């Protein structure tokens, strides 16, 4: 069972990195609430946190090809979200 889950996750990551729009939509659904919470924690404004969340996913979509895989994808998302909220 775990091997199947790892395989599916690996397939999703490969599809995401290959530019598959369905994989990116899934990626957004998985990470959107976490990115929003990070932004809200930094900004303390729902509207600004929504704007930052949108900016984070625009940045991620443009820079996915630069993701080297040295860290977990979720760690990279976290770092991008924090950097956008700080700025």
For tokens 């770092």, the residue is: 79
d(CA 58, CA 16) in angstroms, rounded, equals 14
- pTM here is 0.83
CA dihedral 28, 29, 32, 37 (to 10 degrees): -160
CA 46 to chain centre: 19
Local confidence pLDDT in tens for the 87 residues of the chain: 666 656 666 677 788 888 889 999 999 999 999 999 999 999 999 999 999 999 999 999 999 888 877 778 889 999 999 999 998
């Amino acid at each position: 069972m775990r091997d199947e889950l790892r395989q599916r996750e690996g397939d999703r990551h490969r599809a995401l990195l290959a530019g598959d729009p369905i994989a990116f939509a899934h990626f957004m659904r998985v990470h959107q609430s976490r990115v929003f919470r990070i932004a809200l924690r930094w900004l303390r404004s729902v509207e600004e946190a929504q704007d930052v969340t949108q900016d984070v996913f625009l940045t991620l979509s443009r820079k996915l090809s630069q993701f080297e895989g040295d860290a977990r994808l979720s760690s990279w998302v976290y770092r991008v979200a924090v950097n956008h909220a700080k700025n």
